[in-house]
Amino acid sequence: MDMKKNKILIFSNDQEVLSLLKKTYEVETASSRSGVLKSIEEDPGILAVIDCDMKDAGGLSLYKEIKKHSPDTPVLMLSSAVTIPEAVEASKIGVADFIRKPASSERLLGSVSRNLSRGEGARLMPASRLGEWLQGSGNKIRTLLKNLEFAVKERKNILFISEPGTDILSLVKIICDYSGRGKKTTSIDMLTYKKESIENIFWMVLQEALASSDIIYFERFSAADEKHQASILDYIKNKALGRQVKLIAGAKKIEAGEIFNDWEKITVPSLRERKEDLPDILGAYIDSYSAKYGKRIDGIGFDALKAIGSYSWPGNYRELECVMENAVLTCGGSTITLKDVQLGSKMVFESLQSSQTESLLDFKNDIEKNLVNIFYKKTGSEDMTANLLDIPKSRVSESVKK
């Protein structure tokens, strides 16, 4: 075992934590805030485990000080009193993990192991340059980025397998950025050329793409039948002799047949498979839309987070993006609450089943207010809104945000 790679710095007097980690890792302990900073200055690559219950820790202020002196040091934080908003805030500013004590041995050791391995290979790009839906450090997203990096380095053609509502084009842009300067990408939506009457136009577009592009992305490639797919790839192979043209395609499932045998097949996890990354993803969307609309929103409340976490997200990442943009727009305070999260009937049902903190009547009233404001914004009339929702005008007047 490479002990240097498995060395961690611990700022804690919790004997259970110390005993557990010392069994598996080489441990360096710090007894003060200044001791933490000194150890990190001497070894910037060390994983730091900070216990916020320590008198000298100062919560997230110590983390911010660490990052000021050593931006690449991964930091894992522990606390016996961590709240959901605090955990979201910690994720937003870059804390590797925020664990509530007492933590199970599996939870703590799993987090330490995962965050030690983060330094073993650099991502294709820093997290700050990845799209909002790609934020997080869970196993699913790490595997996706690792596979993507391998495909780029090996100059492989790539077949992305994903559910609808996934922004594959953002992955294509990453590939283009890291394939080298001046690389040009052409995107061809196969659904546009599905009609036989415009097939000739498709071949003209493809010929132009081959002449001018280094990467060709076939969006919804499975919209073409297998015979057409094969003829497209054969055409490219014959026309691109002597040139390295990278091909990227998207499909809902792993395609059968031999035409993709030499391609790198990368499965993109759906949102419902990445619930552990939700705080990171939500924080990224909140920051992005807060900046876009000139608002200052610091986080998301527990009830809203619980409802979002309980939902199955049939519309995948695009559905979440729409929900979060609307939540930022409707939020009247510094924290997004459940009433700001306007969702479909399925979401309302699942939220009612999982919510233990709000009465049915209060929840019904919040939903009604949200609907009133949606219809009022569209119609501009209280009378018309009352008629459409079949409720008294007085209730409309009470609910409208003027």
**The pLDDT of residue 304 is above 60:** yes
User: Residue 133: which pLDDT band, with cuts at 50, 70 and 90?
Assistant: very high
Distance CA 74, CA 114 (A): 11
Residue 88: per-residue pLDDT: 66
Q: Which two tokens stand for residue 41?
A: 């200055």
Distance CA 5, CA 133 (A): 30
Q: Which two tokens stand for residue 114?
A: 């995962």
Determine phi and psi for 100, rounding to 5 degrees: -85, 135
Lowest mean pLDDT among 161-175, 344-358, 366-380: 344-358
Residue 2: per-residue pLDDT: 40
Q: Identify whether the C-beta of residue 341 lies closer than 8 Å to the C-beta of residue 327.
A: yes
Mean pLDDT value across the chain:
79
User: Residue 124: which pLDDT band, with cuts at 50, 70 and 90?
Assistant: low
Residue 346: per-residue pLDDT: 47
Total-model pTM: 0.55
- Highest mean pLDDT of the ranges 77-86, 106-115, 237-246, 386-395: 106-115
Lowest mean pLDDT among 155-159, 196-200, 202-206, 207-211: 196-200
Q: What would the CATH number be for the domain defined by 127-269?
A: 3.40.50.300
Model confidence pLDDT, tens digit, residues 174-196? 888 776 656 788 989 888 887 76
Residue 262: per-residue pLDDT: 80
Average pLDDT in the 323-345 region?
86
User: Residue 359: which pLDDT band, with cuts at 50, 70 and 90?
Assistant: very low
pLDDT above 90: percentage of residues in the chain: 9
CA dihedral of residues 187, 190, 191, 197 (deg, nearest 10): 120
Q: Omega of the bond prior to 126 within 30 degrees of 0, cis?
A: no
The ranges assigned to domains in the chain are: 7-120, 127-269, 274-399
Q: Identify whether the C-beta of residue 288 lies closer than 8 Å to the C-beta of residue 257.
A: no
Residue 69: per-residue pLDDT: 74
Superfamily of domain 7-120: Response regulator (3.40.50.2300)
Residue 299: per-residue pLDDT: 83
Residue 345 is which amino acid? S
Distance CA 142, CA 355 (A): 31
* Residue 101: exposure state from Cβ atoms within 10 A (0-12, 13-18, ≥19): middle
Residue 110's CB is within 10 A of a number of other CB atoms, namely: 14
Residue 321: per-residue pLDDT: 92
- Cβ neighbors of 227 (< 8 A, separation 6 or more) are none
Same CATH fold assignment for domains 7-120 and 274-399: no
Average pLDDT in the 276-302 region?
88
For the chain, counts of helices (H) and of strands (E)? 16, 12
Class of domain 274-399: mainly alpha
Average pLDDT in the 297-311 region?
85
Among 22, 30, 19, residue whose Cα is nearest residue 6: 22
**The pLDDT of residue 121 is above 70:** no
**The pLDDT of residue 385 is above 80:** no
* Residue 99 φ/ψ region, left for φ over 0, alpha for ψ in the -120 to 50 degree band, beta for the rest: beta
